[in-house]
Amino acid sequence: MRRIQCERCGMEWTVNTVRRSKILCASCRARKVQTVHTSQGKCYPWHGMFAADEITPIDSDGKPVLPGVRGCGNNDCINASHIIGLEKG
């Protein structure tokens, strides 16, 4: 058994053989999701910047994007129908 280390984050794990030229852990290999299916319907994850709390989506000016409580439970969801108390109009 051989110990290898992820080239991006540094996580270490044990493998029998190395099959890839670029060694990345499962988290670093994962791709961003475009749609998340929940009981409330489709959630659309925010792919931009986040505030210092790393939960609140913000725009390029640092202002929160669609502020409010998400009924789906995903704090980065930008589906307007999932945001409770959002004024429409």
- Predicted pLDDT at 87: 58
> CA-to-CA distance for 17 and 69, rounded, in angstroms?
47
pLDDT band at 26 (very low <50, low <70, confident <90, very high): confident
Residue 39, sorted as left (phi over 0), alpha (psi -120 to 50) or beta, turns out to be: alpha
Q: Whole-angstrom Cα distance, residue 43 to residue 37?
A: 6
In whole angstroms, what is the distance from residue 24 CA to residue 14 CA?
Answer: 13
- Which residues does 23 contact at the CB level (< 8 Å), separation at least 6? 4, 5, 6, 7
Instruction: Look up the pTM and report it.
Output: 0.59
